[in-house]
Amino acid sequence: MKRTLLIFLIIFIVMQFIQTDKTNPVVDKNMEIKAEEGIMEIFRTACYDCHSNETKYPWYSNIAPFSWAISNHINEGRKALNFSIWETYTDEEKKEHLKDIYRTVYASMPLETYLWVHKEADISSQDRKTIRDWTGVRSK
């Protein structure tokens, strides 16, 4: 039993030497998505940590294996939609992203695992409706 615990401890310590990149790309505010302040506040509170180049890394993002999972979520989130580079998307890509926002704001975002430690990111029913109304108007 002691030997097993020692092996796990050694593995855990070695894992800490495999760090992820936590640098945010430079943000050009001219390339960022534009919306009225109420929408932007919801996006900043509930979406920007994974869907922008303005991620705020929590303390536990320095501890493997959590750091690996967080880094993966951020990379996948930015790849799916990055509010910081909105103006680089084509009109067709913007339309598709707006449809995705419309669909996922009720279905799956923000992720439940994110909400476990970021209670402030939970979106109210009214905020979800506001976002859906905004994306519906913008996608026409």
Residue 37 half-sphere exposure toward CB, CA atoms < 13 A: 0
pLDDT tier at 137, thresholds 50, 70, 90: low
Per-residue confidence at 136, pLDDT binned at 50, 70, 90?
Answer: confident
Q: How large is the average pLDDT for residues 39-57?
A: 88
pLDDT of residue 89: 92
Query: pTM, whole model, 2 decimals?
Result: 0.78
CB atoms within 10 A of CB 131: 24
Angular region, 134: left φ>0, alpha ψ -120 to 50, beta rest: alpha
* pLDDT value at 115 more than 80: no
Angstrom distance (rounded) from CA 127 to CA 129: 5
CB 67 within 8 A of CB 20: yes
Nearest to 84 by CA among 134, 139, 34, 41: 34
Q: Report the chain's C-alpha Rg in angstroms.
A: 18
Name the band, by pLDDT with cuts 50, 70 and 90, for residue 109: confident
